Structures are given as C-alpha cells and as structure tokens.
A and B are shown apart, each in its own frame.
Chain A
Amino acid sequence: MAVHRRVRTAFTTVAALAIVGVLLFPLYWMVNASFQPATGLLQTPPRWFPVGGTLDGYRQALQSQGLPLLNSIVIAAGTVALTLALSVPASYALSRFRMRGAGALLFALLLVQMVPGIVMANALYAVMNQTGLLSTHLALILADSTVAVPFAVLILRAFMVTIPTELSEAAMVDGAGHARVLWSVVLPVSRNAMITAALFAFLFAWADFLFAVTLNTDDSVMPVTVGIYRFIGAHTADWNGVMATGVIASIPAAILLVVAQRYVAAGVTGGALKD
C-alpha cells in the first residue's frame, strides 16, 4: 500500500514536470535563442540547446537597449512612488472614516479599471500635448499610475479594514492625530499589503507598451518595451539580439517571482476579488 502510494505521487510529480515543461517551453525557447549565434537560428533542424553559445545577442541588446532599460527603471520607480503617495492616505481614509460618498468612490475605482487603455491613451495624448508633457518621463509615470492607483487602493483598503480599530484608538487617546496614526501605527502593520501594491505598480509600469508607444514622439524617453518593438521592426534577422532583449526585459519579473512569491499570489487574487 505504502509503496503503491509512493509510486503514484512520483508519477504525479513527473506528470506535473511535463506540464510545466510544455507550458514554459516558449520561455525556454527565448533563452535558447538568446544564446545562439545568428547563423545557428537560421538552420534546419533547429538547435535545441545553446551548445557553443555566444553572448553576441546580449552585447547587441545592451548596446541598443541601455537607455531604454534605464528609462523603464525611472518610469517604474516613479510610478511606484506616485501610486503609494496617492493610494496610502486614500485607503486609510476609506478604511477609517465613515463618510458619504465612500461607497461611490470605491465603485468608481472598480469601474475605471475596466476602461480600455486605448481610450485613455487617446485622451491622454491630447492632455499631455496641451500641457507640454508629451515625450517626458512624467507623462508616462502619470499614465501608468492610472492603471496602478485603483488597484493599489482596493488592495490597501481591503487590508486596512482588517486592522483592529483598538490599535489606532489607543494611539489617539495618547494624543496622536490621524497623520501620526497612519504613519506610526497603520503603515508598519500594512507592510505586506504595501509591498504587494508597490510590486504590481512596478510590474504594470515596467510592462506598459500602449502608453509608451502613444505618448512618446521621440526616442529619448522610450522604455524597453518600445525598444524591443522597434528592434524587431528594424532587425528581423537578428533574433538572438531580440531574444536577449526579451530575456533582459523579463529579469525584473523573474526576480520578483523568486523574492516576492507570496506577494505575487496575494496580488493576483486580491486584484480579482473585491474584499
């Protein structure tokens, strides 16, 4: 019986490995291609392993994508900062104060997440043009925050309503104001929810392509998503360079997955289910 069961779990693990192998094959293929010499990619049958690999693709990628990578970092970091600055106090207010209109505001935040990005891009182009912000990092930080802020408020508020009010009331009895309570009582306990919100704000901004391709008219603030897109257009044959850029652009996501696994899961489910 025990042996039988062990054989069965072993078989299940093998099946699971096979499933993961099939589903992640495209990623393997990207990494494999990124290490191939350009000629190795254009041969039949394909080279299944990067034996005799080369770093040429990466050299090419860094040469042409250095500035876009830097832009992506600036834009993503800016989006995280702006998103937290706006959503932390708002979530605190929505979780602590009883007031009219709070329900309406939450409903609005839920609804605006459903507005298609292309509509936002269309209108924001006009707004950024009028304000002279087109082709600036700030324009992209503001645009990306429109995606991140509603998500962050819903996640943070859902967490903050679970904090016992006794905690903040005790501080208020000691004479602390709301700002003080938020800063020294609520924020320290909300650390995990804040990391989740920040993580997703970073990922949204890092992955953004639509705003980047519409709100930029010159290349100086182009992030890496647009960088790859332009790169494919111009170098259809240099697939190793394109794939190396893809690998580099995926590194933040890979790191986040390893370092912040549980926050990722919390974010995926928290964003989908209200409260």
Chain B
Amino acid sequence: MLARIGFLAPILVFLAAFFGYPLVANFTMALREYTAASFYTGEAPFVGFANYATVLGDPVFGTALFNTAVFTVASLAFQFGIGLALAVFFQRHFPLNGVLRSMLLIPWLLPLVVSGTVWRWIFDQEYGVLNQTLLGLGLIDAGIPWLSSTAMALPSVTVANIWVGIPFNMVILYGGLQSIPAHLYEAASLDGAGPWQRFRHVTWPLLRPVSAVVLMLGLVYTLKVFDVIMVLTQGGPANATQTLTTWSYSLSFQELDFGLGAAVGNLLIVIALVFALFYLRGLRSSAGAPTRERR
C-alpha cells in the first residue's frame, strides 16, 4: 500500500497544484473583478456573473464565436481531406516512399511561431512570394492585402493553420489505412470493383473509427489555436481574426482584466468539454465495434 502511494504521490500533487488549483482559480476569478491591481492589493471584489454578462453582451463575443467556428470547421475539413488524399496516395509502393512521408512531418514538428512567421512573410502585401507570383503571372493587378484587410485575414490565417495540420491527419489516417486487411481489397477487385468503389465500400467504412478520432482531436486542438493567429494578425484587423482564445488572451494580458479573460476561458472549456465527451463516447463505441461484428 505504501509503495502505491509512493509511486503516485508526486503526480497527484502535481495534478492538484497545476491542474486542479488553476481550474478552480479560473472559475473563481471569473466571478470576481480581478484586475492588475488585484495582484498588488490582493483585493478582488465578488461580482457574481457580471463578468459573464459583460462578455456575452460585448459585440466582440459574436465576432469571436463566428470566427472560431469558421476557422475550426474550414481547418478540419481541409486538413482532413488533404490528409486523407495524401494517406491514400502514399499507400502505393514506390521508391522513396518512406523518406518522403517522413519529410512531410516536418511542418508538424516546427514550433508554431516559426510556421506563423514564415506564412507572414509569404503573405506580405508588397514583397511576399504569394503576391509576387500572382502579379508575375498577371492574375492580379495589385498586391492583395492578405493579412491587413478584414475580408482576407481570416481565410489567410486559416490557410496557414490548415498547412500546419495536414501532417498529423496524414500520419494517423495512414496508420488506419495500413490496418485494413489487404484481402478485402483483393476480394473487392475480384468482384470487379474499381478504385473509387474500393475506396467507397472498403476504405471509407473501415476507416471511420480512426477518422472520428482524428476529427475530434483536431477539433479540440483547433479550438485553442493561439500561436498562428498571434503571429500573423494578433486577432486583427478590427477583430477580423479574433477567436475566443485570442480574445481571452487580450482581455487578460492586454486589458489586464483577468476576470473577463477567465470568463471567456471558461466558456471555451465548456465548448471543448462538450466535444471531448463526444470523442470519449466515440472511443468507447469504436472499441466495442469488433465484438458486435463477430456476433
């Protein structure tokens, strides 16, 4: 018994101090007027749900919620679609397959700040390679303000984020494809199924559990993206790329109203947890799937 406690005590203390306490602190901070002064005076008057009311009544809330939804859905759709196409492509046998596949992982391993910085240079209105190429090809007459116009900023930031997420989707989906038994494809071929029918009737249904995991993890991860947006646009121009995450940051660390920042953060937790529970349910039901099939 003592041994058990000895092995687990360090991590339990750590979790309590650096997850339990912060989460509780965040919950109570959101109920208080917690500003920069509170850190010096130690006084943070209890205000009940006033912070939530302020946040929900702020026009930025609607913008941030909308941006978060667009950013997340578009990121997931394209990361998954491109990742799946690549995974299917790399199932073929050809020289250099392994080397090229692992090279595709590099964008995922880079610090997001670095990826964001590279994209900021690509999107540069005057000297960025994107505008220079489009101008050179005669497709546009003047450089497009990718990051500084309210219309283009959100799509541009989303493109950068899609690029970052493709490798993760590809690797997991590739793993899922590898676990589909080859004899199913052979049987389908014998039945006269073409490539598209094999994908439609063998690959797609058998890949569903893995797809669900990838999409859920991608969703929870994309909801909290911070680095890419901060480096590219800081949430601007005029809140055009403000998401719940960047807004929470700016309320807490730029306007120094930690109570408001905590309130937005707690709303974000609720959203993430709702999807997380879906994910965990999905894990359980996909683990149960083989048993049902055997019956």
Do the two chains belong together in a single complex?
yes
Residues in A lying within 8 Å of B, measured CB to CB: 9, 12-13, 15-17, 19-20, 23-24, 26-27, 29-30, 33, 41-46, 85-87, 89-90, 92-94, 97, 99, 105, 107-108, 110-112, 114-127, 129, 142-143, 145-146, 149, 153, 177-179, 182, 203, 206-207, 209-210, 213-214, 225, 228-229, 232, 239, 242-243, 246, 249-250, 253-254, 256-257, 261, 264-265, 268-269, 272-274
**Residue with the greatest number of chain B CB neighbours at <10 A, chosen from A17, A87, A209, A249:** A209
Q: A232 to B117, Cβ gap below 8 A?
A: yes
Of B17-25, B48-56, B189-197, the stretch lying at the interface with chain A is: B17-25
Known: A229-B113, A264-B105, A274-B283. A41 touches B226 (CB 8 A): no
Q: A242 to B230, Cβ gap below 8 A?
A: no
Q: B272 to A229, Cβ gap below 8 A?
A: no
Residues of A within 8 A of B266 (CB): 119
Of B70-78, B144-152, B168-176, the stretch lying at the interface with chain A is: B168-176
Q: A20 to B100, Cβ gap below 8 A?
A: yes
Listed by A's residue number, 11 A-B pairs whose Cβ atoms lie within 8 Å are: A16-B97, A24-B103, A29-B118, A44-B132, A45-B132, A114-B272, A115-B272, A116-B268, A123-B22, A125-B252, A126-B258
Closest chain-A Cβ to B13's Cβ sits at a distance in Å of: 9
**Residue with the greatest number of chain B CB neighbours at <10 A, chosen from A90, A149, A179:** A90
Q: A246 to B118, Cβ gap below 8 A?
A: yes
Q: Does B187 contact A (CB under 8 A)?
A: no
Q: B252 to A12, Cβ gap below 8 A?
A: no
From the candidates A12, A26, A118, A214, name the one contacting B115 in the complex (CB within 8 A): A26
Q: B113 to A207, Cβ gap below 8 A?
A: yes
Closest chain-B Cβ to A127's Cβ sits at a distance in Å of: 6
Q: B231 to A272, Cβ gap below 8 A?
A: no
**Chain B contact surface mostly:** helix
Q: Does B294 contact A (CB under 8 A)?
A: no
Residues of B within 8 A of A119 (CB): 22-23, 26, 248, 262, 265-266, 268-269
From the candidates B18, B106, B111, name the one contacting A24 in the complex (CB within 8 A): B106
Closest to A242 in B: B117
**Chain A contact surface mostly:** helix
Closest chain-B Cβ to A79's Cβ sits at a distance in Å of: 13
Q: A29 to B22, Cβ gap below 8 A?
A: no
Residues of B within 8 A of A9 (CB): 92-95
Q: Does B289 contact A (CB under 8 A)?
A: no
Known: A44-B132, A142-B18. A246 touches B117 (CB 8 A): yes
Q: Does B29 contact A (CB under 8 A)?
A: yes
Known: A114-B273, A261-B102. A178 touches B7 (CB 8 A): yes
Q: B19 to A146, Cβ gap below 8 A?
A: yes
From the candidates A16, A111, A206, name the one contacting B111 in the complex (CB within 8 A): A206
Q: B105 to A42, Cβ gap below 8 A?
A: no
**Residue with the greatest number of chain A CB neighbours at <10 A, chosen from B22, B95, B113:** B113
Q: B102 to A257, Cβ gap below 8 A?
A: yes
A-B contact number at CB 8 A? 260
Alpha-carbon distance between A90 and B268 when the two chains are bound, in angstroms? 30
Given contacts A94-B8, A261-B102, 5 further A-B contacts (CB under 8 A): A13-B96, A46-B127, A115-B19, A126-B258, A257-B105
Alpha-carbon distance between A41 and B126 when the two chains are bound, in angstroms? 11
Residues of B within 8 A of A105 (CB): 8
Alpha-carbon distance between A239 and B121 when the two chains are bound, in angstroms? 8
Residues of A within 8 A of B283 (CB): 274
Q: B22 to A120, Cβ gap below 8 A?
A: yes
Alpha-carbon distance between A112 and B258 when the two chains are bound, in angstroms? 21
Q: Which of B86-129 contact A (CB under 8 A)?
A: 86, 89-90, 92-97, 100, 102-115, 117-122, 126-127, 129
Alpha-carbon distance between A9 and B86 when the two chains are bound, in angstroms? 16
Closest to A112 in B: B19
Known: A122-B262, A257-B102. A232 touches B18 (CB 8 A): no
Closest chain-B Cβ to A112's Cβ sits at a distance in Å of: 5
Alpha-carbon distance between A86 and B11 when the two chains are bound, in angstroms? 5
Closest to B103 in A: A20
Closest chain-B Cβ to A36's Cβ sits at a distance in Å of: 11
Alpha-carbon distance between A86 and B120 when the two chains are bound, in angstroms? 38
Known: A122-B29, A122-B248, A272-B217. A41 touches B107 (CB 8 A): no
Alpha-carbon distance between A210 and B116 when the two chains are bound, in angstroms? 14
Q: A93 to B114, Cβ gap below 8 A?
A: no
Residues of A within 8 A of B261 (CB): 118, 122
Residues of A within 8 A of B6 (CB): 89
Closest chain-A Cβ to B105's Cβ sits at a distance in Å of: 6
Known: A23-B166, A243-B118. A126 touches B29 (CB 8 A): yes
Closest chain-A Cβ to B282's Cβ sits at a distance in Å of: 11
